[in-house]
Copies of this chain bind each other. A is one copy, B any other.
């Protein structure tokens, strides 16, 4: 399907009887062009339906007016049944905010293939979601001179970011489980050093000390998603039958915990409570539904876009934007009373 043939600047020049440079100057309001010539060029351009090439304009301006949104999560965690996870929820809000500011948003979701083709993206800047400490994504983008904002800080990097309030989120979950009667809460973590994990582990250690609770932390490999979460939980419950609640760092692992409980004949929440961070499709459609936290993701996404655009403009701006207080969303998986 070929589109209609598009008139070029040469067609306009021919029709107006001037050079291509004159057409360019006349249409872009640069240089000195006689007003009558300018008028003749404008008329010829209008008659031919000529529109200057966006790409040529962008080459001159040095801007693509496009920003990227880049996941750092494996498919098994970021995706889920219909791939409507954390990433796409952020993408929806980020795309809207970007468009309202005249920028397009390119999405780079979790990919099955190992490497997203970051080097071929023509973007002015990028938002990277919760990169791990060693995630090469931010370095690859930086080496190309692409300004970056992250959602959640990246450990060991001093990048502008939106603060998702990780310590408060961890506190909300642990305090809630305790209020619902749990006193042997285990932490189900992802491997790696995303700042959410690091902050959650710290809050958990503090919480355990405060309440004289023996800390119990298990790690599962993110790339295995629900399955590795289940396997880690089955082992945990076999070795520690005293565990009465699981705080899962990611929702895929929480689903694994629910399945592990079923395998072991445990009732949720009667025998085992389960809570997780992200209040997404998994939490809302699990049986039982899962207690989670409203992170105000749409607002975080908007803030990330605005922080990135401020950086592109070189505006003096705070380099960390704090998202509003997270809010617990209690559901059946912790409804013990």
Residues of A within 8 A of B (CB): 1-6, 49, 51, 53-56, 58-59, 64-66, 68, 79, 82-84, 87-89, 91-93, 95-96, 99-100, 102, 104-109, 111-113, 116-117, 120-122, 142-147, 160, 280-281, 284-285, 297-298, 311, 314, 319
Contact = CB atoms under 8 A, between A and B. Distances in A.
10 contacts: A1-B160, A54-B120, A55-B64, A83-B92, A96-B111, A99-B108, A99-B116, A104-B106, A104-B121, A284-B285
A102 B82 contact: no
Contacts of A84: 84, 88-89, 92, 281
Contact of A59 (B56, B147, B160): B56
A227 to B, nearest CB: 20
A2 B105 CA distance: 21
A95 B66 contact: no
A84 to B, nearest CB: 5
Contact of A88 (B91, B146, B298): B91
Given A92-B109, A107-B107, 6 more contacts: A1-B311, A1-B319, A54-B120, A56-B59, A68-B104, A104-B121
Closest 3 CB pairs of A and B: A3-B145, A83-B92, A104-B106
